[in-house]
Amino acid sequence: MMLIGALAALCVMPRPAAAVDLTMYYPVAVGGPVTKIIDDMVDRFGKENPDIKVTAVYAGNYTDTMTKAMTAMKGGQPPQLSVLLSTDVFTLIDENAIVPFDGLVADQAWFRDFYPAFMANGQVDGKTWSIPFQRSTIVLYWNKDAFKEAGLDPEKAPANWDEMVAMGRKLVKKDASGNVTRWGVEIPTTGYAYWMLQALAIENGQKLMNDAGNDVYLAAPKTVAALDYWVDLSRKETVMPTGTVDWATLRTDFLEGKTAMMWHTTGNLTAVKDGAKFNFGVAILPAKERRGSPTGGGSFYIFKSASPEQQKAAVKFIQWMTTPERAAEWSIKTGYVAVSPAAYKTPAMEKYAKDFPAAIVARDQLDHAVPELSVHENGRIYKFVNDAVQSAVTGTQKPQDALAAAQQQADRVLKAYK
């Protein structure tokens, strides 16, 4: 009987705790095998942490991912964490969707491991609401072979707006019929037009929003002048195609030699490196009054609806994903900026940067970077700005009128937050 009792006791011994399940939504806005890289990293985390099961769900571009996360939240089945635009922070706070990291992290000195420029968008009212992950700045890519062919110094990118126009004129190439076969420069007008406008505005000495996230300066004279310059690149200087320049196909245009220069995210760097059949360079954006680019890209957020165990597990996963070694790995494989100074001191990144100096241009541009446009009702404000840019570049409205209309729309929306 004693033996039977002992066997019975063994049968009811507690089982190992079940794994904590986490669902993570994430976007892709660049070229290259990003989904495979994410899947591989998540798989390795799972092997090292069998008590946590992360399911990574590719949810489209940033806008799609935000929409799906909000829809899932309102439907009662939100993810436990997501990579969303760093600038979605005000909207997520307003929706009561996320929790700050301050109460979830034992040692908040961790926050100081990251570049301050990348933490700026995620720190609101003295709290840290997001942790940087796939972060970027806008950089200028140039085709060195095309520069050499046009009689330009292939090692010198334009340092200012006037130089970009002058070089662009020499780089435009036409066939025997007078049709343009290569443009001097292309700046994308779809997808993230607000981002490009902010870059031009800050280079012209104009901020686009206040720190409280309840005001924008779209109709300011220097913002209008920035859009004037952008439109003039095509309609006056004829160094850029008229009308729409598509974000999604611009990298292909550059790789196929249809444009000699392009403004694009550093998140495309590895895809350009792998796809280019010519020598190319990467440079800090040209200046007007100053150098400058807004930061960009996505950060990790933890949803309020996650259980305490899930929130704790999510922090562990985020800390694993952003260690210097993995931040360096992510940067090397994608082109995104590694989010901490320590990542650039890892042996892997030091070797990569030595062999491929373009990898540190976006990091160096952080010295001139400003927080990306981030306000309440961010999605609506972005649409107003994107529509204004489209109206201007297609010739539907003059830049001043397009931005004045966008300002009026934004003022009506943001009035509730003042």
CA distances from 393 to 157, 233, 294, 300 (A): 25, 10, 21, 34
> H or E element: which one contains 169?
helix 161-171
Here the tokens at position 54 are 């992360």
Q: What is the pLDDT of residue 216?
A: 98
SS3 call for 88: helix
Cα 53 from Cα 18, distance rounded (Å): 10
SS3 call for 105: coil
362 CB burial (10 A radius; 0-12, 13-18, 19+): buried
CA distances from 354 to 215, 323, 338, 349 (A): 43, 21, 16, 8
Cα 62 from Cα 51, distance rounded (Å): 30
Mean pLDDT, 10 residues at a time, the chain of 418 residues: 44 58 94 91 98 96 95 93 97 97 96 97 96 97 98 98 98 97 98 97 97 96 98 98 96 98 96 97 98 96 97 98 98 96 98 96 95 96 98 98 98 96
* CATH, domain 137-295+372-417, list 3.30.470.20, 3.20.20.140, 3.30.70.1230, 3.40.190.10: 3.40.190.10
Q: Which pTM was predicted?
A: 0.92
179 CB burial (10 A radius; 0-12, 13-18, 19+): exposed
Here the tokens at position 393 are 């570049």
| Contact predicate 168/261, CB 8 Å | yes
| Contact predicate 219/407, CB 8 Å | yes
Which superfamily is assigned to 16-136+296-367 in CATH?
Periplasmic binding protein-like II (3.40.190.10)
- Say which residues have a Cβ less than 8 Å from residue 69's Cβ, sequence separation at least 6: 25, 59, 78, 79, 82, 84, 97, 303
Location of each CATH 3.40.190.10 domain in the chain: 16-136+296-367, 137-295+372-417
DSSP 252-321: HHHHTTSBSEEEEEGGGHHHHHHH-SS-EEEEPPPBSSS--EEEEEEEEEEBTTS-HHHHHHHHHHHHHH
Cα 242 from Cα 238, distance rounded (Å): 8
Please write the tens of the pLDDT for every residue from 75-117.
989 999 999 999 999 999 999 999 999 999 999 999 999 999 9
| Contact predicate 152/170, CB 8 Å | yes
> H or E element: which one contains 173?
strand 173-174
105, HSE (Cβ side, Cα atoms, 13 Å): 21
| Contact predicate 69/83, CB 8 Å | no
SS3 call for 25: strand
CA distances from 101 to 129, 149, 299, 319 (A): 6, 53, 12, 11
Q: How long a stretch of residues is the chain?
A: 418
Cα 371 from Cα 86, distance rounded (Å): 9
- Report the amino acid identity of residue 166: A
| Contact predicate 160/286, CB 8 Å | yes
| Contact predicate 183/259, CB 8 Å | yes
